[in-house]
Structure 1
Amino acid sequence: MPLILFNKPFQVLCQFSPQEGRESLADYLDIPNIYPAGRLDADSEGLMLLTDDGRLQHKIAHPDHKEAKSYLVQVDGVPDAESLARLQAPLDLGDFVTKPCRAVRIAEPEWLWPRNPPIRARKDKPTSWIAITLEEGKNRQVRRMTAAVGLPTLRLVRTSIGPFSLASHPLMPGEWMEVAAEDVGGRS
């Protein structure tokens, strides 16, 4: 039962099937019979978990199991106390209302790799960083949340899923590692 931690690069599709002119997981992982436990949009980066164990995949990915997921989000603008409070409270996004989450403004992470291509810089509008931790993960949720409070997402990097993080398992974009079965503990 391999559990693979993978740092998905920007613009890589979260699938193994090829799509002309686009990189996919198959360009980075040549491991038979593994599947993503959850997804990241092509324009998002960071930690993904992959496994060949269907029960473990379901447990990690299914919202009922409430695995916390943490993100570093570079936004267009500077959040004030009100916008951070709105992000943390249940937020109506039209088709669903988010669960409460943690959202705090942080300094630009020094350890974070540069994105290729870089984020566009606009001299007339500052950018800032927010750390967000959710216990759910709907389609494009973080991007929709920041847009709803007037802070469009420029860069989105998932840094942790449950007990697994890029802080404790430093991987550069495109790198992966297998976590030993005993490291998984009672998670399967």
Structure 2
Amino acid sequence: MFSMAYKVLSMLIQYLESFINFIMFHYFGVCIHGKPRHIRGVVIIRSNKKRSIQIGKDIEINSGKRYNLVGGDTKLILRTLEDGKIIIGKHVGISNTALVSKNNITIEDNVMIGGGCRIWDTDFHSLNYANRVQSNDESAHSEPIIIKQGAFIGGSSIILKGVIIGEKSIVGAGSVVTKDIPDGEIWAGNPAKFIKKIQ
């Protein structure tokens, strides 16, 4: 009896979350190309412009601890600032990650992003003290991020502005990526460094 009640409650929660996502995606003008494979949990979206967030077909999203117990204390966050864009390709899997773009974040097809990652294409605040203490600090530096096809980003990693992660490359869990990673390599650490080529 309790298992049946749990299943019914889970289904009701999933329907409610799907409805909230539908409203959020439409309100913020998120463009979804094709049908997602799964969107579990409520996605947090903030965007200043319509169509600044684009999602490819067959995407799999986990948003919240309920749907990914192995890591990530937050939901999936998609946030664009000013003219920022977030473009997510096809067959992408992503859990409990915060993507914030003031410039451009591109995630190509077949990428996997583990729980609790942070992908930011901006410094958020100026490195100059005088600018930083102003309430309207708009001089923070930003550069585009590209995560190429087939890359795998381990949980709790941070990808910083201006980084290109190569095709099928792997970023070890908990890494801080500050510079480009070539195709087919494993990098890890803080800051992330070359470990070995993928065989």
* Higher gyration radius (CA): 2
TM over 0.5: no
Normalising by the residue count of structure 2, what TM-score does the alignment of the two structures yield?
0.27
Normalising by the residue count of structure 1, what TM-score does the alignment of the two structures yield?
0.28
